[in-house]
Structure 1
Amino acid sequence: MMPMMESMSILDKKVSDLRRLVTLKCGFPVSVYCLRTPEGLEMYDCNTLRDYRTAIGTTLRLDVWDGWKEFLMGCLLGQKPKVQRYLSKEGPVLKYQKRVALYIAAFHGHTELSEWALKQGVQPHEAVGVHPYRAWCHEALHADVSDCPVHAAAEAGQLLILKAFVNCDVLCLQCKNAAGQTPLAIAAKRQHEACVLYLLNKTWSTVSFLKLSVPMRIYIKIKQWILRAQSHRGQKSQLGRARISGAKVGDTVVVDGFTEPKMTSRSWHKAGDKSWQSTRSKLPPCKQQSSRKPVDSLVISQRDTRKQITLPSLVQTNTSLEPQHPQQESQQNKTAPAGRKEKYVRNAYLPQVPLPPVSRVDYPHRMLHHAPPGANHLLRSFFASFSEHRGRTPRENAIYCLAVASAFKEKRWLQQLEIARVLAKKSISNLTVQGGPAKCDNLPEILL
């Protein structure tokens, strides 16, 4: 309960005047709350208090934006962890909340929260503004939405906060509110002597450069002129497109008297922040590859000329294949559909090789069509001799080389593939030197 004891009668005033008094009492910016009658009717700034049958002793309700109750309580108490916890995930709303946090911290003198907001990029001479849901209705906004955190510090007489703001940016000295008052004028009106002396000293000081000293007022005007020039240059760089202020297509807007009220003081949990819920959504569990589980059969259609490969899942193609008993293999062949032939790939090094998800490993090796007569026979003899001496087929040898090359984790996959190719070629060349059918002079080069 916050009693409003005023010497003059405010019943004939507008709701906007009452909200200005409430802001001076509690330190809330006028854009974060609304006033409601005991019956729950929202009070708009353009109406008078008598329009809502408000009398002396009437208790009005102050409602804030849904999901903001915990955030504003943290700002009032200066609890930075609580403020950080209840920040919104929406970009425009997040920026607005940071400005609100700096305004309330400046009014109540919370130095830690003020320092955090300044580090977040909030400017003390920047107007708090309105909630992004209300950014489109300029005519119905309260005049005090243009107040800045430095004005709140001057209103409350927070000297330490004023010093921090001026050290952050000297433009705070000449920042004006809706009534055209600077922080010095506000501090003098509220009779904060220490703040007035500090602001007077800073306003009438000089800024010294290497060979020049400029009065603070002239320096501030030069800096404002530079900022306006930079802003004008930035607008020209947008290819002649005009800057559009307010709401855009797809933004949420709040229309007085038409849309569902968004200021009902619902808690953060009951408000149902969709942006927060989206970050809490759980990802599907990762499918871990295991070398102990046998892969399902790789079925190749003999009828289809395209030789389509049917795999139960892409993840299982890189798993190892345990040797099966002949009886089990015969039973699986019996259960296969008619006209289809099942082939099983058995290799101990397969789980170590990063093969593509879909592998056409069971396709027969194509012989060279343009080879001279008798070359295909020599190739078959070479493959047979290789399998006899090495104890594994050429394909198994290629997989073995890939498994060895995959140990070089610092290399990229293509570099590992090149290492495997050199290893495979070296093993073949060693076999050629030992002797056998591969001694043929006209044997075409084989690249695995």
Structure 2
Amino acid sequence: MRVFVAFEGLYESFDISSEDTVKDVKLMIKDYFHVPVSEDKQGRRYLELIYAGAVLKDSWILADVGISVSSTIKCVIKEEDKPVFYVYNTVTHEKVPIMGKIYLLSEKVSQLKTLVTLKCGFPNSVYCLRTPEGREMYDCNTLSDYQLDIGTLLHLDVWDGWKEFLTGCLLGNKHKVQHYLSMEKPVVNYQKRVALYMAAFFGHLQLSAWLLKQGARPTDAVGVHPYREWCQGNHHPDVAKCPVHAAAEAGQLMMLKAFVNYSILCLECQNSTGQTPLQLCIQYKHKDCVLYLVTKMWSVVSYPNFSLPTKIYIKLKLWLLKAQNNIRRIKRHNQTAVFRTRVGDVVLVDGFTKPKMTSKGFYQAMVKDTSSKRLNLNNPFQRRQGACCSKASEGDQEGLSLKLPPLGDANKSTNRRQQKKRSRKKTVTLGNEENMDQNMCLARVPLPPISILKPPHYYSIPDAKFLLNPSLESFSEHSGRTPRENAIYYLALASAFKEKPWLQQLSIARTLAKKSICKPVC
């Protein structure tokens, strides 16, 4: 049969067989138009065939998707860049692609962490990157020092005991964030700044409102973990980012409005490179945020007897805050301390101390801390106390060895109650699974509009019984999908042919599903 192919303004006819696959047609088009097709580590250049609004897969047969004589197929050249790295996030269990060019391999690890932060929303001081072999990657080193190749899968590890806390920040769950806060005051203050940064990045208004009441401010830099205070000479530059900068980078308009209403100083808050939120919004092309910040910057602050431009008002307020801080410092007779750590605090130095970023859970980290404290305590008083209590412990052990008779009636009643609870849970879970199946069907499988619905006998097609036939056990064994899941999958594929009526989409789905069933069964 003869079909027509539209390619870059040309309109050519091809004589093909109805049994040819899409891949065969692509080879014919490639040879006829002399199209260079390539694939390497950097990316690939390939042909894509489009019919009735749907992209055709290489394994499909032309007759199965309804391509007949004199049909027109659109052909385009696609160029796809492959990610330079993949980062596995241990908190969300997601594989995040990092796009870029090959020259990224010669950059420092700090540059890669900046790209990762823009992807996952975690502040730089919360996580570290590790090679597939488990080596920690330090910011001052280059990526080539670790002998990485294009497409390498890196691992993102967070502070021990922080996984649940960061999950609460990602979801905006205020109660979960409260529950997993640390017991140490400096660490709690740092966690509040981290939580406000992530709430600004993901747009969680309720969580941010609670954190603002707790004393966290949108103009305060996130900083570093208190355990890393002594390594501030090697800190990443992005630790000076504030929550208002995160909201500007992510384009969260409502968060910017909330921060500006909380403190007008957010308009002139600068990051490590001297960029304000307005400049960041312009850089990342967030139009609505740019319009809002421009109107705020050029507005006027009014008082009963006079009014001031916003820029002058901000400068006056900054000058007053600086003067107040100087007065407090003079009263306390204290100079500015370089380090805020005290004697007895934990100090971590890269390459010298045992790493604390291994993504352990909250309870696992707590158990390890308590066990280590018990081993390190060398108090003679406790030893004497333990010796004195040894006799009592022997008596307790004798008491523990005694066996009590079983409680017959009580055990029976408790077993009955447990069985009832289990049966109720099973019915609830079964109902939830049915609802999930229905929601999946409604979300993925298109239905015809109400105006063209016909009586039930109109759709009684004998060949459609195989779509939901539960007796195809051999198909389920070979394909890994049940017949019902197979029907949903191919109805969703056929819905891509948007230019075809719904009944024709149904016939295409039947044909594709029938072929997929016949192959494994045979």
- TM class by shorter-chain length? 0.5 to 0.7
Q: Which residue of 1 aligns with 2:265?
A: 171
| Distance verdict in 2 for CA 1:162–1:240, change over 3 Å | closer
1:74-223 matches, within 5 Å, as 74-223=168-317
Please tell me the residue identity of whatever aligns with 1:72: L
Partner of 1:12: 106
Q: 1:231 aligns with which of 325, 332, 337?
A: 325
Q: Cα offset for 1:166? A: 0.1
Number of the residue aligned with 1:46: 140
1:102–1:274 distance in 2 versus 1, CA, 3 Å: farther
Which secondary structure does the structure 1 equivalent of 2:260 belong to? helix
2:125 counterpart letter in structure 1: S
Identity within the alignment, % = 60
Scaled by the length of structure 2, what TM-score is found?
0.52
Measure, in 2, the Cα distance between the counterparts of 1:242 and 1:94. 22
- Paired with 2:188 and 2:103, the residues of 1 have a C-alpha distance of 39
Provide closer, same or farther for how the CA distance between residues 267 and 192 of structure 1 changes in structure 2, counting only shifts above 3 A.
Answer: same
Q: CA deviation at 1:275?
A: 9.3
Answer yes or no: is 1:261 the counterpart of 2:355: yes
Do the aligned residues in 2 keep the contact of 1:205 with 1:215 (CA within 8 Å)? yes
Q: Distance in 2 between matches of 1:187 and 1:273?
A: 44
**Does the 8 Å CA contact 1:86/1:268 hold for their aligned counterparts?**
yes
The Cα shift of 1:75 comes to 0.5
User: 3-state SS of the aligned residue for 1:3?
Assistant: strand
Identify if the C-alpha distance between structure 1 residues 129 and 242 changes in structure 2 by more than 3 Å, giving closer, same or farther.
closer
Deviations 1:26-68 (A, max 9, x none): 1100000000011111000000001001110110000000000
Please identify which structure carries the higher strand content. 2
CA gap of 1:212–1:2, structure 2 versus 1, over 3 A, is: same
| Conservation of the 8 A alpha-carbon contact between 1:36 and 1:42 | yes
Who is 2:159 aligned against?
A: 65
Report matched runs for 1:430-445 at 5 Å.
Answer: none
Deviation at 1:135, TM superposition (A): 1.4
Distance (whole Å) between structure 2 residues aligned to residue 16 and residue 197 of structure 1: 32
Q: Could you report, residue by residue, the CA deviation over 1:137-174 in whole angstroms, capped at 9, with x for unpaired residues? A: 11110000000000000000000000000000000000
Offset, 1:119: 1.0
| Change beyond 3 A, Cα 1:60–1:274 | closer
- When residues 102 and 81 of structure 1 are mapped into structure 2, their CA distance, relative to the original with a 3 A threshold, is same
| Matching of residue 30 in structure 1 with residue 124 in structure 2 | yes
Distance (Å, rounded) in 2 between the aligned partners of 1:238 and 1:148: 28
Task: After TM superposition, give the deviation of residue 246 of structure 1 in Å.
Answer: 3.6
Give, in whole Å, the separation in 2 of the partners of 1:30 and 1:191: 23
Q: What is the alpha-carbon distance in structure 1 between the residues aligned to residue 355 and residue 110 of structure 2?
A: 19
Contact 1:89 1:276 in 2 (8 A): no
Q: Which segments of 5 or more consecutive residues in structure 2 lack a partner in the other structure?
A: 1-94, 372-522
Q: Alpha-carbon deviations, 1:181-229, whole Å to 9, x = none?
A: 0000000111100000000000111100110100000000000000100
Q: Deviations over 1:251-287 (max 9, x none)?
A: 111011111100000000110179999xxxxxxxxxx
Check 1:258–1:135 CA distance in 2 against 1; reply closer, same or farther (3 A cut): same
Bigger radius of gyration among the two: 1
Write the distance in 1 (CA, Å) between the matches of 2:290 and 2:209: 22
1:332-347 equivalences under 5 Å are none
Are the aligned partners of 1:206 and 1:215 in contact in 2 as well (CA < 8 Å)?
A: yes
Give the 4+ runs in structure 1 shifted more than 3 A: 240-244, 273-277
Q: What is the correspondence of 1:232-251 to structure 2 with a 5 Å cutoff?
A: 232-251=326-345
Secondary structure of 1:31's counterpart equals: helix
- Unpaired runs of 5+ residues, structure 1, are 278-448
| Distance in 2 separating the partners of 1:46 and 1:66 | 23
Q: Is the 8 A contact 1:136 1:246 kept in 2?
A: no
SS in 2 for 1:60: strand
Q: Distance in 1 between matches of 2:180 and 2:370?
A: 10
Amino acid at match of 2:351: G
Shift of 1:244: 4.4
Q: Which one-letter code corresponds to 1:237 in the other structure?
A: K
- RMSD after superposition: 1.6
Q: Report the residue type matching 1:197 in the other structure.
A: L
Does the 8 A contact of 2:157 with 2:357 survive in 1? yes
**Count of paired positions:** 277
Q: Equivalent residue of 2:177, what SS?
A: helix
Structure 2 vs 1, CA of residues 8 and 117 (structure 1 numbering), >3 Å: closer, same or farther? farther
